[in-house]
């Protein structure tokens, strides 16, 4: 499962739509920085990206849009898949945490056993010295 799942794409799209007016300026600044770092080698690419971002900021829809309508049943299926994936991730995290706690408990038990063994050896040596 990668970083680009349906839920993340929806969140990214919503964030872009919410901040549409800022996209052009941000891309232009990033392009300027990239041009400085590359000493102008990327200026044609950054200029195209900046133009597209400015058009997007002004409300024009991009040429490469892949949006399509999704019916209610498909949307529910997608939400159910996201929910199932979240439950799987949660159970995996819970299992990992349980294993970590078990490992820590085992390590502490071993430490206590060694400490007890060392203490008993010390007591036995003290008894032999006293005799």
pTM value is 0.37
Tokens representing 117 are 């063994």
Q: Report pLDDT digits (tens) over 9-61.
A: 777 777 777 777 777 788 888 888 888 888 888 788 888 888 888 887 777 55
Q: Where are the alpha helices (DSSP H) in the chain?
A: 6-18, 20-37, 43-57, 72-130
Q: Is 54 exposed, middle or buried (0-12, 13-18, 19+ CB in 10 A)?
A: middle
């Amino acid at each position: 499962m990668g970083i680009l799942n349906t839920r993340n794409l929806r969140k990214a799209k919503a964030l872009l739509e919410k901040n549409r007016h800022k996209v052009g300026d941000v891309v232009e600044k990033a392009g300027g920085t990239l041009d400085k770092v590359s000493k102008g080698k990327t200026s044609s690419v950054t200029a195209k990206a900046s133009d597209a971002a400015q058009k997007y900021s002004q409300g024009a829809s991009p040429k490469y849009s892949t949006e399509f309508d999704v019916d209610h049943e498909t949307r529910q299926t997608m939400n159910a898949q996201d929910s199932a994936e979240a439950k799987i991730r949660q159970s995996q995290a819970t299992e990992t945490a349980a294993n970590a706690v078990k490992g820590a408990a085992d390590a502490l038990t071993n430490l206590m056993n060694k400490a007890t063994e060392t203490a008993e050896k010390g007591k036995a040596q003290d008894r032999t010295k006293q005799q």
